[in-house]
């Protein structure tokens, strides 16, 4: 493999001069510059990023931790991260933890080993203690999921308020019997969305019926189906359902159809995330839209600022209620 010395020899200059031409770091006379560039072309030389990074003590690689790419919510966030990162000459390493602690530690080692410069964590299942320990020595920010009491900067939406808006809307169009399909409340977003649900009910004088609050066992379609199955068997069936993710909502929608009921006449349905599938269901799904692409861009900017030693502040983004046919 041809290296910088070969180029230097061919162009009859020192390696320093070659490096200067490569990095435009200081003045090189026109004639030698041409000579060096010619040598580079003739030898088909490509500088080794490995050597460069070792010297500069950086990898220009960003780790993005997600539970799984199968959830389309992450798709657009990642697009935002990638766009921003590439523009600033960083590449991203997408890491699916599958909520597996062993995987997690592999990826944590990557940053300890200097193979990555920073981490954007979007994984709610990550070990918070380990993450915070790591954040003492390495640049880390959280995206979408975060810790209230942690010292790690984050960008997210106001989950409590978003859920509140969804429920308030259901109440305003006449619903009083509103169920909640939540995910596991070990996740902060699940706790927050539940709080928003409860606040809206309280504010409109509707009593909280705990038997209408379900926790899905999985985050896939089946989770929504299972939860809905139980809600449909409830002696006092709700007239509206708020699911904390579109995937759960779509599972619920499926189950409602299987039972021959009509949406929204028999049951109204609201999801969360505004994934692209939510326009392909029948009826189309009313949902809360998060600014996913923007969130990704901001997360990327935050982590790069952090890597460069700047101070970063957490940022809360706006959400929207997207009203479609399911309500």
Q: Which C-beta is closer to DNA: that of 28 or that of 201?
A: 28
Q: Which stretch binds a copy of itself (CB under 8 A): 10-18, 29-37, 182-190, 272-280?
A: 272-280
Sign of CA dihedral 5, 9, 10, 11: positive
Q: Which stretch binds a copy of itself (CB under 8 A): 34-42, 62-70, 232-240, 260-268?
A: 62-70
Instruction: Tell me the two tokens of residue 242.
Output: 């708020």
Residue 200 backbone phi and psi in degrees, to 5: -65, -45
- Does 294 bind a copy of itself (CB under 8 A)? Our answer is no
| 82 contact choice in DNA, a copy of itself, none (CB below 5 to 8 Å, kind-dependent) | a copy of itself
Q: Which long-range contacts (CB under 8 A, 24 or more apart) does 148-155 make?
A: 148/188, 153/302, 153/306, 153/312, 153/313, 153/314, 154/314, 154/315, 155/295, 155/298, 155/299, 155/302, 155/314, 155/315, 155/316, 155/317
Instruction: Tell me the two tokens of residue 261.
Output: 């009921």
- CB neighbour list of residue 1: distance below 8 Å, 6 or more residues apart: none
- Residues in 48-77 that interact with DNA by CB under 7 A: 48, 50-52, 54-57
Of 29, 113, 151, 236, the residue at the interface with a copy of itself (CB under 8 A) is 113
| 199 contact choice in a copy of itself, DNA, none (CB below 5 to 8 Å, kind-dependent) | none
Q: In whole angstroms, how far apart are CA 18 and each of 13, 26, 38, 46?
A: 7, 11, 11, 12
- Residues in 242-271 that interact with a copy of itself by CB under 8 A: 250-251, 254, 257
289, β-bridge pairs: 273, 320
First to last CA, the chain: 64
Q: Which C-beta is closer to a copy of itself: that of 103 or that of 191?
A: 103
Q: Provide the 10 A C-beta neighbour count for residue 136.
A: 8
The least distance separating DNA from the CB of residue 75, rounded to whole angstroms, comes to 35
- Report the distance separating Cα 324 and Cα 275, nearest Å: 13
| 251 contact choice in a copy of itself, DNA, none (CB below 5 to 8 Å, kind-dependent) | a copy of itself
Q: Which C-beta is closer to DNA: that of 43 or that of 188?
A: 43
Q: Which C-beta is closer to a copy of itself: that of 16 or that of 69?
A: 69
- Does 72 bind a copy of itself (CB under 8 A)? Our answer is yes
The least distance separating DNA from the CB of residue 39, rounded to whole angstroms, comes to 12
DSSP secondary structure letters along 95-154: EE-TT-HHHHHHHHHHHHTTS-SEEEE--TTS-HHHHHHHHHHS-EEEESS--SS-SS-E
3-state secondary structure 189-238: HHHHHHHHHHHHHHHCCCCCCHHHEEECCCCCHHHHHHHHHHHHCCCCCC
Of 24, 30, 31, 50, the residue at the interface with a copy of itself (CB under 8 A) is 50
What x/- string results for residues 3 through 32 when contact with DNA is judged by CB under 7 A? xx-------xxxxxx-xx-xx-xxxxx-xx
Instruction: Tell me the two tokens of residue 199.
Output: 């606040």
Q: Which stretch binds DNA (CB under 7 A): 42-50, 73-81, 195-203, 229-237?
A: 42-50
Of 12, 16, 38, 46, the residue at the interface with a copy of itself (CB under 8 A) is 46
- Does 82 bind a copy of itself (CB under 8 A)? Our answer is yes
- Does 151 bind DNA (CB under 7 A)? Our answer is no
Q: What is the chain's length?
A: 327
Site residues, a copy of itself (CB under 8 A): 1, 46-51, 53-54, 57, 59, 61, 68-70, 72, 75-76, 78-79, 82, 86, 91-94, 96, 103, 106, 109-110, 112-115, 220-221, 250-251, 254, 257, 276-277, 279-282
Site residues, DNA (CB under 7 A): 1, 3-4, 12-17, 19-20, 22-23, 25-29, 31-33, 46-48, 50-52, 54-57
């Amino acid at each position: 493999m041809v290296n910088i010395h070969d180029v230097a020899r061919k162009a009859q200059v020192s390696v320093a001069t070659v490096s200067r031409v490569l990095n435009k770091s200081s003045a090189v006379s026109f004639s030698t510059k041409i000579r060096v560039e010619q040598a580079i072309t003739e030898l088909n030389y490509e500088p080794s990023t490995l050597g460069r990074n070792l010297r500069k003590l950086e990898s220009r690689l960003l780790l993005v931790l997600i539970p799984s790419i199968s959830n389309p919510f992450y798709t657009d966030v990642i697009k935002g991260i990638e766009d921003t990162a590439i523009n600033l000459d960083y590449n991203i390493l997408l890491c699916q933890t599958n909520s597996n602690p062993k995987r997690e530690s592999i990826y944590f080692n990557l940053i300890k080993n200097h193979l990555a410069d920073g981490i954007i964590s979007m994984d709610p299942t990550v070990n918070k203690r380990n993450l915070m320990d790591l954040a003492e020595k390495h640049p880390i920010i959280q995206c979408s999921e975060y810790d209230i009491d942690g010292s790690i900067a984050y960008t997210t939406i106001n989950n409590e308020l978003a859920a509140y808006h969804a429920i308030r809307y259901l109440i305003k169009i006449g619903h009083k019997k509103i169920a909640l399909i939540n995910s596991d409340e070990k996740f902060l977003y699940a706790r927050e969305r539940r709080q928003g649900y409860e606040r809206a009910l309280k504010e409109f004088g509707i009593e909280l019926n705990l038997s209408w609050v379900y926790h899905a066992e999985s985050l896939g379609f089946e989770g929504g189906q299972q939860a809905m199955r139980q809600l449909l068997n409830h002696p006092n069936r709700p007239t509206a359902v708020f699911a904390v993710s579109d995937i759960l909502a779509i599972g619920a929608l499926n189950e409602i159809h299987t039972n021959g009921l009509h949406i929204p006449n028999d049951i109204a349905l609201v999801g969360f995330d505004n994934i692209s599938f939510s326009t392909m269901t029948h009826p189309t799904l009313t949902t809360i839209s998060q600014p996913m692409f923007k969130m990704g861009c901001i997360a990327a900017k935050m982590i790069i600022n952090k890597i460069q030693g700047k101070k970063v502040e957490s940022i809360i983004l706006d959400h929207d209620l997207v009203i479609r046919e399911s309500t």
